[in-house]
Amino acid sequence: MSQVFTWIWVVSGILLILLVLLHSPKGDGMGGIAASGSSMFTSASSAEASLNKITWIILTIFLCLAIILSAGWI
């Protein structure tokens, strides 16, 4: 049973990395210091909102499994 949770934890970690990489950058970074004008995108699209929800769900699964596996509750 512990191995099943370990594999789910590993898969959720890999999915979490991929989902974070799919997010669009929020800030201008160092290039925003010299650039003038406003941002081209002022509101989050529905795709970005869905991506945020999925990322939070996978993060919750990952953290819960990390706590359960490290505490030895299984």
- 């210091």: which residue's tokens? 33
73 within some domain: yes
Residue 36 lies in a domain: no
Q: Is the pLDDT of residue 31 over 80?
A: no
**pLDDT for the residue numbered 4:** 96
Using the predicted structure, report yes or no on whether residue 6 has a pLDDT greater than 60: yes
Q: What is the pTM of this model?
A: 0.75
Residue 70 domain-assigned (yes or no): yes
Instruction: Give the per-residue pLDDT at 26.
Output: 74
Higher confidence at residue 36 or residue 5? Answer: 5
Backbone phi, psi, residue 29, to 5° = 75, -150
Residue 67 lies in a domain: yes
Unique residue bearing structure tokens 């909102």: 49
* Nearest one of 19, 1, 47, 74 to 11, comparing CA atoms: 19
Cα gap 8→14, rounded to integer Å:
10
Structural domain count, the chain: 1
pLDDT at 12: 98
